């Protein structure tokens, strides 16, 4: 899991799909060609077939030490074809979107799944479910000069925070991703996803050496996401974080109460329990949560949700990469495990509905069960009161990368911004250190949840694939977690 940082809050729910064929699907691959391709796969022995066609355009710009180090754009277009026979999956991808190219790929995928077959099997797709893009400024509508001007302004704002800021790097990236997905069960859906991300990294230099600060802005929105105020806030935040850490002292070691700031701690629950609630781990019995639906697995204060329908958030999806509508799925409710996350293929085998969690990095990858926006619902406590009622502990303002063993629930996370809590007050900043624990145990140790909910964007890595996700929670306290510090 890459770094996850604070992001904007929730917006409105997604719009209903239009049940008409639009130029989006026609410019990628026609309905007739998709039907022929699926029929080819089934004729060659497939029991289930799927075609995923994608057209992705990206641009990026990087300003490093006031010099433009990168200004690039790219385009990737192709199709991935999946054919399933029993428990065997054949997969082929191609950049040739002609009828001939797609049918050849379908034959290749079917051959991997099962040799032989025969006969004619026709596929009739349902009417297209097309999810319209919300009104926004598209990446291609913003010229490069305007983007570079924005990066330079952020650099100036960061450096204005103090002479100790010696290095600044600012980056901006956006993408426009159109896709159409169809399968032999009749699913036929299209979507157009626009994402914009900005991040700034600062280095402060002082008598104790160098310290870093980082802030991102990210959302499933266009260039309008990057308002002048939002960019300036991020630049100041990154610079102040780096400067504050110049006075950091070694973190304590051992078990201590930990207060997680709103937004930042969401990554802990993404890793510590989110991956263990994905159906692929459950069906392989490779998760500590397998077979525990209906059991209490967390504090009654914990309600965990995976919700891809939240418009504008980094993990927002109108439709997932298997053509299923995005959904709000309650995974843990008041401490009770209620369900897992499902992709289309696994839910199909289990005779249940997909939860809209089938995702893939690109047309060159198979879909798998993945999170979208995963967060804990806020509580009723006051954040300041939670801190005031903690005599001694650690306040984590920002978590860095982390990893988890889904089979055991054991995890390790880096803390990139943390402070000591003494006599109910946030005091000295701490040097970077680790947070070490076990997911099921940590879920039971939540004893206070505030009402200051916020979200954080990030990139989740799983089996070599990267997808955008959101995490979130309100300020909360864990009664005891192991701190991997260096102080006695």
- Per-residue pLDDT tens digits of the chain, which is 488 residues long: 333 333 332 223 333 343 333 445 556 899 999 999 999 999 988 999 999 999 999 999 999 999 999 999 999 999 999 999 988 999 999 999 999 999 999 999 999 887 544 445 567 788 888 887 777 887 778 999 999 999 999 999 999 999 999 999 999 999 999 999 999 999 999 999 999 999 999 999 999 899 999 999 999 999 999 999 999 999 999 999 999 999 999 999 999 999 999 997 888 899 889 999 999 999 999 999 999 999 999 999 999 999 999 999 999 999 999 999 999 999 999 999 999 999 998 999 899 999 999 999 999 999 999 999 999 999 999 999 999 999 999 999 999 877 888 889 899 989 999 999 999 999 999 998 899 999 999 999 999 999 999 999 999 999 999 999 999 999 999 999 999 877 65
Residues 6+ positions from 363 with CB-CB distance below 8 Å? 52, 53, 54, 76, 78, 79, 80, 93, 179
- The reported pLDDT for the residue numbered 11 is 29
CA–CA separation, 216 and 234 (whole Å): 7
Torsion angle of C-alpha atoms 219, 220, 224, 226, degrees rounded to 10: 20
- The reported pLDDT for the residue numbered 488 is 53
What are the residue ranges of CATH 3.30.2290.10 in the chain? 23-126+137-247
Residues 6+ positions from 349 with CB-CB distance below 8 Å? none
CA–CA separation, 199 and 154 (whole Å): 10
Identify the H or E element spanning 269. helix 266-269
233 by DSSP, 3-state: which? helix
**CB distance 139 to 194 below 8 Å:** yes
Q: How many residues does the chain have?
A: 488
- The reported pLDDT for the residue numbered 266 is 86
CA–CA separation, 487 and 429 (whole Å): 13
Tell me yes or no: is domain 23-126+137-247 CATH 3.30.2290.10.
yes
Residue 196, CA distances (Å) to 56, 145, 347 in order: 13, 17, 32
317: which 2 tokens? Answer: 């999806």
| Partners of 366 in beta bridges | none
360: which 2 tokens? Answer: 């893939």
CA–CA separation, 261 and 5 (whole Å): 11
**CB distance 289 to 282 below 8 Å:** yes
**CB distance 92 to 110 below 8 Å:** no
Structure pTM?
0.91
105 by DSSP, 3-state: which? helix
The residue among 38, 322, 365, 327 whose CA lies nearest residue 191 is 322
The residue among 308, 329, 305, 341 whose CA lies nearest residue 191 is 308
CA–CA separation, 36 and 173 (whole Å): 37
């Amino acid at each position: 899991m890459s770094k996850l940082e604070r992001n904007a809050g929730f917006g409105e729910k997604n719009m209903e799909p239009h049940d008409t064929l639009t130029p989006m699907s026609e410019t990628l691959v026609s309905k007739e060609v998709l039907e022929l391709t699926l029929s080819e796969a089934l004729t060659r022995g497939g029991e289930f077939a799927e075609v995923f066609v994608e057209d992705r355009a990206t641009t990026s710009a990087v300003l490093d030490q006031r010099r433009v180090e990168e200004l690039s754009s790219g385009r990737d277009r192709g199709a991935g074809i999946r054919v399933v026979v029993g428990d065997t999956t054949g997969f082929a991808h191609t950049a040739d979107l002609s009828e001939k190219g797609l049918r050849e790929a379908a034959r290749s995928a079917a051959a991997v799944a099962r040799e032989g077959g025969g006969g004619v099997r026709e596929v009739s797709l349902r009417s297209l479910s097309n999810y319209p893009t919300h009104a926004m400024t598209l990446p291609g509508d913003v010229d490069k000069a305007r983007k570079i001007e924005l990066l330079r302004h952020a650099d100036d704002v960061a450096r204005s925070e103090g002479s100790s800021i010696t290095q600044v790097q600012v980056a901006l990236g956006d993408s426009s991703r159109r896709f159409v997905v169809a399968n032999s069960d009749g699913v036929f859906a299209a979507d157009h996803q626009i994402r914009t991300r900005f991040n700034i990294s600062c280095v402060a230099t002082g008598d104790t050496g160098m310290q870093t600060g980082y802030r991102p802005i990210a959302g499933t929105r266009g260039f309008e996401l990057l308002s002048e105020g939002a960019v300036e806030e991020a630049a100041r935040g990154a610079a102040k974080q780096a400067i504050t850490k110049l006075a950091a002292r070694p973190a304590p070691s051992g078990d201590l109460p930990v207060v997680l700031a709103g937004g930042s701690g969401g990554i802990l629950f993404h890793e510590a329990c989110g991956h263990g609630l994905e159906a692929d781990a459950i069906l392989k019995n490779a998760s500590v949560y397998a077979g525990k639906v209906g059991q209490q697995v967390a504090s009654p204060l914990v309600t965990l949700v995976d919700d891809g329908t939240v418009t504008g958030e980094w993990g927002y999806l109108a439709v997932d990469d298997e053509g299923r509508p995005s959904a709000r799925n309650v995974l843990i409710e008041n401490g009770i495990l209620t369900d897992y996350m499902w992709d289309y293929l696994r839910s199909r085998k289990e005779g249940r509905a997909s939860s809209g969690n089938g995702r893939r990095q690109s047309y060159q990858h198979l879909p798998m069960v993945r999170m979208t926006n995963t967060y804990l619902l806020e509580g009723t406590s006051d954040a300041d009161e939670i801190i005031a009622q903690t005599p001694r502990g650690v306040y984590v303002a920002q978590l860095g990368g982390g990893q988890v063993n889904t089979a055991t629930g054991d995890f390790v996370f880096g803390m990139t911004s943390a402070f000591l809590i003494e006599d109910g007050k946030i005091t000295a900043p701490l040097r970077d250190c680790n947070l070490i624990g076990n997911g099921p145990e940590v879920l039971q140790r939540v004893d206070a949840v505030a009402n200051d909910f916020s979200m954080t964007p990030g990139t989740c890595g799983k089996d070599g694939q990267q997808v955008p996700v959101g995490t979130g929670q309100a300020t909360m306290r864990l009664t005891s977690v192991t701190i991997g510090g260096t102080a006695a």
